[in-house]
Structure 1
């Protein structure tokens, strides 16, 4: 495919067209991913997550500029929430990082969540693979920031930055354990504000309660808007990748993510099979009525459908 050859040669426009293709056409997406698979697996994928208003976009902007200054090529996937009513997305991150978009060593793609609660659309993984194959050294994924469901970032990132801000107060206790567990590096942004030290102390205390850790995540204070602490943060990101490689955790983490992806792909195909069977003569509606009327139970119906599917296949 000509577009793939152009993308591999460094053509940003070809890269953008391929991402559009995998977003809009599942069959085309499969063809593209099959062809570029051998070129993937080289980029360091950084996930940036945290509550809305934590300054994730500003932090992404400064971090990417620091990487570019080191001569690195960086891809950015900025995930924005999609309206459940219009299906539209604000894509404000793209606006905030407009000056980066003009840099030849930076590729920015804004993607709507399209209703996916994890803050990551199912197309994010494919876009990530395209940027990886295109030869970007780092790929930064900035998520929406929608609470517990942000744990989805674990499925695709090598290093996860959990961004927080002073002023959370007692609210830090409401941050779910699952969210705390996914952070590889905790970033206290806007740390020139009152309460930054207290927030850092509270995060450290919560980390101290997590005894089951091979590596204790560092807590880094930054003021992204003033470009303060970014170099230290970048140093910690590199140290984390070094730890992953030396401990064998990188292979383990990526293998686990691939296992999850395989299961998700199989589930998608099985769902299509189930729907094709249950849609016949509005059978599902009839079965639901029977369950409601206590003529059958839900497990009986499940077993009947599975038996029919096995028989046909």
Structure 2
């Protein structure tokens, strides 16, 4: 544990990279890293950036990083990329597009592969964010993979959610309205130098009014990230939203909710692993499962049998073991 503490106290990117590698790969050491980092987290403003592919999220993140880093802030960036079908790792498209900011001493970029996770984030995103937070980052930007309607996971780990889109939304607004439109704290029309930008803003304004939100009315901003247009205003709105969260008590409430969500997630993960271990060591259960496979027995009865036998058995399971 003393060596682990030294890694955190070094505050250098090499040490941070080693810690995050352990966590991403869920090694036995990751358990100690997460336990220790849990007591040090809670300072960073976590910003989730979502939206469909091609909306310019990566460019926008890069420009935000440049501006925030120039203010002397410590920045962590988590880029969730699609999974390579060959290596099962991140395709690293975002890392390539962010080579410029990667050289900044106060910016750390971590690319993650979704590895089949359907919620727009990698399964280990929350753990990675926790370690970055404990590493005294002031701002953590999470760029989701951009998968559309199932982009809700970003809500569970973010304080502020940005939804990035492009002009000419048209009928896609109806699809968005039923899904990810409802999760945003700030709307961004990027590539606003294209035709249809003003119409998209009008459509979004109408949808925001129809939502009936009274506590926080999400602003709708136009940016041209490639030209750095609108970035300063976007940062000001991000700061305004943070002040709103802190003054309303939602800053603390979001962290409390996040803590319980992490607890429930860990319980489900540990129970799932414990059930798998139990089944693999009990031949009688394996036969029952085979009977279900062949349609000889029903899954409802067998699922109860497995859980009841597990509780009676009272086996122990150690994380990472």
Aligned partners of 2:192 and 2:222 also within 8 Å: yes
Partner of 1:127: 128
The correspondence of residues 124-203 of structure 1 with structure 2, limited to 5 A, is 124-203=125-204
Q: Give the total of aligned pairs.
A: 312
User: 3-state DSSP class of the match of 1:203?
Assistant: helix
How far, CA to CA, are the matches of 2:196 and 2:145 in structure 1?
Answer: 25
- Structure 1 gaps, min length 5: none
Aligned partners of 1:80 and 1:113 also within 8 Å: yes
Structure 1 range deviating more: 83-92 or 263-272: 83-92
Deviation track 1:203-243 (CA, whole Å, cap 9, x = no partner) reads 12222221255211111111111000001000000000000
Shift, 1:3, TM fit:
5.0
Aligned partners of 1:84 and 1:115 also within 8 Å: no
- Structure 2 gaps, min length 5: 315-321
User: 3-state DSSP class of the match of 2:118?
Assistant: coil
The alignment status of 1:39 with 2:40, answered yes or no, reads: yes
Shift, 1:148, TM fit:
1.7
Partner of 1:61: 62
Deviation track 1:174-231 (CA, whole Å, cap 9, x = no partner) reads 1153311110100110011000111111112222221255211111111111000001
User: 3-state DSSP class of the match of 1:160?
Assistant: strand
How far, CA to CA, are the matches of 1:60 and 1:2 in structure 2?
Answer: 34
Partner of 1:207: 208
User: 3-state DSSP class of the match of 1:186?
Assistant: strand
How far, CA to CA, are the matches of 1:84 and 1:64 in structure 2?
Answer: 30
1:281 pairs, out of 280, 283, 289, with 283
The correspondence of residues 2-13 of structure 1 with structure 2, limited to 5 A, is 2=3, 4-13=5-14
Aligned partners of 2:77 and 2:141 also within 8 Å: yes
How high is the TM-score relative to the length of structure 1? Answer: 0.94
The alignment status of 1:225 with 2:226, answered yes or no, reads: yes
The alignment status of 1:255 with 2:243, answered yes or no, reads: no
User: 3-state DSSP class of the match of 1:79?
Assistant: strand
How far, CA to CA, are the matches of 1:290 and 1:96 in structure 2?
Answer: 49
Partner of 1:25: 26
Shift, 1:278, TM fit:
2.7
User: 3-state DSSP class of the match of 1:169?
Assistant: coil
How far, CA to CA, are the matches of 1:37 and 1:171 in structure 2?
Answer: 40
Shift, 1:26, TM fit:
3.6
Aligned partners of 2:42 and 2:255 also within 8 Å: no
Aligned partners of 2:166 and 2:192 also within 8 Å: yes
Shift, 1:14, TM fit:
0.3
Runs of 4+ in 1 over 4 A off after TM superposition: none
Shift, 1:298, TM fit:
2.8
Structure 1 range deviating more: 142-151 or 21-30: 21-30
